[in-house]
Amino acid sequence: MSVQDITDIGKEWLTIETVAAASKKSAGARLWASNEFEKRIEEGAAFLDKTLAEHGGIYGVTTGYGDSCTEIVGPENYYDLPVNLTRFHGCGLGEFFDRETTRAIMIVRLNTLAQGYSGVSMDLLRYISFFIEHDILPRIPQEGSVGASGDLTPLSYLAGALIGERDVLYQGRIRSSAEVLKELGMPLYRFRPKEAIAIMNGTAVMNALAVLAYSRAEYLADLACRITAMNSLALKSNAYHFFKRLFEVKPHPGQSLAAEKIRLALRTEATEGLVPERIQDAYSIRCAPHVLGVFYDARELLRRLIETEMNSANDNPIVDPETRSVYHGGHFYGGHICFAMDSLKNIIANIADLLDRQLALLVDVKFNRGLPPNLSGSSGNYAYNHGFKAVQISASAWTAEALKNTMPVSVFSRSTECHNQDKVSMGTIAARDCVRIITLTEQTAAASLLAAAQALRFRLENGDFSGERIAGVEKTYSQVFSYFAPLKDDRAMDRDLLKTMEYIREKFFCV
């Protein structure tokens, strides 16, 4: 890995791409080695110590947490309080986040603390950076956050791992973090006042999920444009539906971009002068730019919300050594991420629905314009060879589940914690829903891509058009058949679908 592939946390504005790459270990992220940076961080910690000594009255340092802020903590317990915070929040349930997501969570949280407004020490940042560098991954349960005060319960598993009280995944084994740290010659971390709440009282979990969701969604939108072009060819559809002039009179930029991507893949100049079989195709073909274009029109807003959040200080209280002030506020609130995820999951589920409807056209002899029933390659033995029939049924099931999960979660705020947290964001649940919808959409895309390639193969074998006609999608077509054996007699398709899913996640297919 070259120096150019490593991001210096504390120096650079983190982007979706840098965090996604580092979470996959195709790039690196490290703490910025700079005297200027270290001075800025230590000034915040020193100011907090001075304020604590001279004035006291700092939430989460001299008080209990949440509704318990009226309870006063004596100086003799300042160092016990953060440890207890990590312990009583150890109630997360559900599946554990995967390696990629866990890395992203640590990188995002380190970056927010590195803004210099959390009153934490360089030692804390170095410890989190050590976990990232050595790929020590806290086991973080997915369930238990309402998204304000941030991701308290899931982030407690990062905080607890630093002090040796939680399990981690290290070198492929689940082990005690205390055991791993001892093996690596690192003492257990001892929290300074406010450091545990600085880790936990923020939006890093939902934010990391949002980063990875956006990265996958962007590729999915591009791939869906390519699949739409393949399906349009396979169905002998009217290429005029995507002509540039048509979209100049309704000029949503993203919609025009989607039409352009489809148009270029179709090489529509080759269709000029041809009389289409049908003047207007079904909406799932004709209106594809209008569905897919919503992502391209929304993506800059989504990117801004996600990247601003992860490059901000978002815990409470904010410790500002520049103005010599401690600000008690609510920056842990994940409303912007919740809005981004509620919006993105709606957009992506609609892409699943679009591809599922296109697949339904391909397998149905009433609509597929001469293709075999269910795209079966069995040379007429259709009574006992059913091709893609069950694949299409499964795609509809995946799509239905995706659509079901589009309910906006932000409207399900619950008053919690003795009505102190009486309005919460639910951003983490929205982000988890979004990731699930993206997975379901990738499954639907995998089914649609295999079916589109099979359908184009029939067209070529039957002489319906020449290889030149699919030149714009030929690379994607060839990529599919580099591992997928054309479906002739019926066989189980799960391995083909899983392989295609894997390639989609790796962004293998030309888009």
Query: d(Cα 288, Cα 251) in Å, to the nearest integer?
Result: 15
* Model pTM score: 0.95
In this predicted structure, what is the pLDDT of residue 3? 56
Whether pLDDT at 365 is above 70: yes
Q: To the nearest whole percent, how much of the chain has pLDDT over 90? A: 83
Rounded to whole angstroms, the maximal C-alpha distance in the chain is: 88
Take residue 79 and report the two structure tokens written for it.
């160092």
> What pLDDT, on a 0 to 100 scale, did the predictor assign at position 270?
58
**pLDDT of 476 over the 60 cut:** yes
- The answer to whether 39 touches 122, Cβ cutoff 8 Å, is no
Q: Is 189 a catalytic residue?
A: no
Give yes or no for residue 383 having a pLDDT over 70.
Answer: no
Contact at 8 Å (CB) between 84 and 65? Answer: no
pLDDT tens per residue, range 295-353: 999 999 999 999 999 999 999 999 999 999 999 999 999 999 999 999 999 999 999 99
Domain boundaries, the chain: 3-202, 209-322+332-505
Q: Please state the separation of Cα 175 from the chain's center in Å.
A: 27
> Residue 274: what pLDDT?
60
The model's pLDDT over 87-126, given as tens digits with 9 standing for 90+, comes to 999 999 999 999 999 999 999 999 999 999 999 999 999 9
CA 418 to chain centre: 32
Do the beta carbons of residue 73 and residue 116 sit within 8 Å? no
Q: Which CATH number, 1.20.200.10, 1.20.1300.10, 3.50.50.60, 3.10.20.70, labels domain 209-322+332-505? A: 1.20.200.10
- pLDDT for res 65: 80
pLDDT digits (tens, 9 = 90+) for 148-173: 989 999 999 999 999 999 999 999 99
- Residue 275: per-residue pLDDT: 65
Cβ–Cβ < 8 Å for 491, 389: no
DSSP output for 432-495:
HHHHHHHHHHHHHHHHHHHHHHHHHHHHHHTTSS-GGGGGGGHHHHHHHHTTPPP--S----HH
Instruction: Examine the pLDDT at 495 and tell me if it is beyond 80.
Output: yes
- pLDDT of 76 reads 81
pLDDT for 273 beyond 60? no
Q: How far apart are the C-alpha atoms of 511 and 502, rounded to whole Å?
A: 16
CATH superfamily of 3-202: Fumarase/aspartase (N-terminal domain) (1.10.275.10)
Q: Which amino acid, 211?
A: V
> Out of 59, 78, 240, 503, which one is annotated catalytic?
59
